[in-house]
């Protein structure tokens, strides 16, 4: 008899998670259907295509990319674009996130709007805007000529600089927002506590604020890297044929040369790179003690 209340309590405890699990599944169902039918299935088809040779299963398409200097340059160009864009957005975006977190009222609204509004514009529009700015008789060159800083137009469009500038600009919000979300949650009294324990401001920042901001940094890096490593519009419009990436190779394989195995393999390599980044950043996030 004395056991009865405990047994009841246990039964109750078990019942609640089961009910919760069912509720969770029900709520996630529409998204699951969309993911499975519109994403997972086509993805599986893509992967199976990449292993299709003349006589069934084959790694031939992968060999054509990874075994060939030009193919490897595609992988390297994609990685390079991702790494440089991530590095620049991190350096520019990290202090910006603090500025955003510290600002108040109208200034904060202005900062947030300048981050969010560009997201509403299409990537193509933004990339074209950069081509207008950077072309030989674009706004930037006209201004330089007018100010007599230069006497003939500087070649800016279709250079690596234009690519990096454009990519950093377009992907910056994806770095700032996750860092801002984390930094805004950091209790300002932690810095004060560090000060009363004898830590000068720089040391307090490095030993308290930076470690606590890492989960945001990890999220921002994962977002910007996976977006920029697979970017198609940005390198195509800002560099054209000079800078071939895995993304442009995919487009060409499907649209021009009708080589679905090659395009699928390039896609699979991009997905693999993305997976490595997501898993690694999750690990880093956990190791840095993200709350």
Partner 1 sequence: MGRSLEPDLTKVEIAPAHVAVTGLSKRFGASTVLDSIDLAVAPGALVTLLGPSGCGKTTLLRLIAGLATPDQGKVSIAGVDVTRTPPHKRNVGVVFQNYALFPHLSVAGNVGFGLKGRGLPRDAIAAKVARALDLVQMGPFRDRPVTALSGGQQQRVALARALAVEPKVLLFDEALSALDRNLRETMQVELRRLLKNLGVTAVFVTHDQDEALTMSDRIAVMNAGRIEQYADPQFVYARPVTLFTMRFVGICSELRGEVDDRSEGRVRVDTAIGPIVAVGEHQIGAKVVVATRPEHVAIGPAGSAPSVGEVNAVEGRIRQIIFHGSRARIAVDLGDEADFRVEVGGASRIPVVGEAVRLTWPAARSFAYPDPGPLP
Q: In the complex, which residues of this chain contact partner 1 (CB under 8 A)? A: 187, 189-190, 192-201, 203-204, 207-208, 211-212, 288-289, 291
Nearer to partner 1, 122 or 203 (CB): 203
Query: What sign does the dihedral 207-209-215-217 (CA atoms) show?
Result: negative
Nearer to partner 1, 12 or 198 (CB): 198
- Give the nearest distance from C-beta 291 to partner 1 in angstroms: 6
What is each CA distance from 73 to 68, 213, 269, in whole angstroms? 9, 35, 13
Nearer to partner 1, 127 or 194 (CB): 194
- Give the nearest distance from C-beta 187 to partner 1 in angstroms: 6
- Give the nearest distance from C-beta 147 to partner 1 in angstroms: 44
Give the Cα separation of 81 and 90 in Å (integer): 14
146-155 contacts, C-beta under 8 A, 24 or more apart: none
CB 118 within 8 A of CB 157: no
Cβ atoms within 10 Å, residue 20: 10
Nearer to partner 1, 95 or 201 (CB): 201
**Phi, psi angle pair for 5, to nearest 5°:** -60, -40
Nearer to partner 1, 185 or 242 (CB): 185
- Give the nearest distance from C-beta 174 to partner 1 in angstroms: 24
- Give the nearest distance from C-beta 111 to partner 1 in angstroms: 24
Nearer to partner 1, 199 or 278 (CB): 199
Give the Cα separation of 281 and 226 in Å (integer): 11
> What H or E segment, with its residue span, contains residue 185?
none
Tokens standing for residue 38: 């519109």
Give the Cα separation of 150 and 141 in Å (integer): 8
Nearer to partner 1, 2 or 196 (CB): 196
- Give the nearest distance from C-beta 189 to partner 1 in angstroms: 4
Give the Cα separation of 290 and 127 in Å (integer): 35
- Give the nearest distance from C-beta 37 to partner 1 in angstroms: 41
């Amino acid at each position: 008899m004395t056991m009865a209340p405990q047994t009841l309590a246990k039964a109750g405890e078990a019942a609640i998670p089961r009910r919760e699990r069912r509720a969770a599944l029900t709520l996630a169902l529409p998204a699951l259907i969309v993911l499975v039918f519109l994403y997972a299935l086509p993805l599986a088809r893509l992967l199976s295509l990449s292993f299709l040779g003349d006589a069934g299963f084959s790694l031939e398409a992968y060999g054509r990319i990874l075994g060939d200097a030009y193919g490897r340059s595609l992988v390297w160009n994609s990685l390079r674009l991702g790494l440089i864009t991530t590095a620049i957005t991190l350096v520019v975006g990290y202090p910006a996130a603090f500025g955003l977190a510290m600002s108040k009222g109208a200034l904060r609204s202005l900062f947030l709007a300048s981050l969010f509004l560009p997201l509403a514009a299409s990537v193509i529009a933004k990339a074209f805007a950069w081509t207008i700015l950077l072309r030989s008789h674009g706004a930037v060159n006209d201004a330089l000529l007018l100010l007599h800083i230069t006497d003939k137009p500087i070649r800016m469009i279709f250079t690596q600089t234009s690519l990096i500038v454009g990519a950093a600009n377009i992907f910056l919000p994806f770095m700032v927002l996750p860092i801002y979300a984390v930094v805004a949650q950091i209790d300002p009294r932690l810095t004060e506590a560090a000060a009363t324990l004898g830590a000068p401001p720089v040391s307090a920042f490095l030993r308290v604020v930076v470690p606590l901001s890492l989960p945001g940094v990890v999220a921002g890096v994962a977002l910007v890297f996976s977006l920029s490593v697979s970017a198609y519009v940005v390198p195509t419009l800002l560099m054209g044929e000079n800078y071939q990436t895995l993304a442009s190779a995919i487009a060409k394989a499907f649209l021009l040369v009708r080589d679905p195995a090659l395009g699928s393999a390039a896609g699979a390599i991009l997905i693999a790179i993305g997976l490595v980044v997501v898993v690694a950043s999750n690990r880093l996030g956990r190791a840095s003690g993200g709350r």
